[in-house]
Amino acid sequence: DTAVSQTPKYLVTQMGNDKSIKCEQNLGHDTMYWYKQDSKKFLKIMFSYNNKELIINETVPNRFSPKSPDKAHLNLHINSLELGDSAVYFCASSQGGLVIDTQYFGPGTRLTVL
């Protein structure tokens, strides 16, 4: 069984569109994350939720809005997509929010904005 899953795996869209990426974890973890990996493989955290509550919100444009309907899901909605949003987006989860809690990553969603 997949521990952290993301849909879709690939997403190609036009500038200005709105899109969502879904993430689900079946590990029973309390904390979930969204990371962005750019074309140079640089990985940077965007958001973190603990028990559906937003606890980390890095410097991310307001066009990005995470939503956590329950502990097992953390979706990422992006409005008015721009070329610079093209990247691989990774979802991750951990048992708690402590640094010692291992983060488990999903397979990633490759977003291409044309």
Partner 1 sequence: AQSVTQPDIHITVSEGASLELRCNYSYGATPYLFWYVQSPGQGLQLLLKYFSGDTLVQGIKGFEAEFKRSQSSFNLRKPSVHWSDAAEYFCAVGLHNTGTASKLTFGTGTRLQVTL
Three state DSSP letters for the chain: CCCEEEECCEEEECCCCCEEEEEEECCCCCEEEEEEECCCCCEEEEEEEECCEEEEECCCCCCEEEEEEECCEEEEEECCCCHHHCEEEEEEEECCCCCCCCCEECCCEEEEEC
Q: Is 46 in the site for partner 1 (CB under 8 A)?
A: no
Cβ 87 to partner 1 shortest distance, Å: 14
Q: Is 55 in the site for partner 1 (CB under 8 A)?
A: yes
Q: Is 73 in the site for partner 1 (CB under 8 A)?
A: no
Among 11, 36, 50, 76, binds partner 1 (CB under 8 A): 50
Among 4, 11, 78, 113, binds partner 1 (CB under 8 A): 4
Binding residues for partner 1, per CB under 8 A?
4, 31, 33, 40-45, 48, 50, 55-56, 90, 92, 97-108
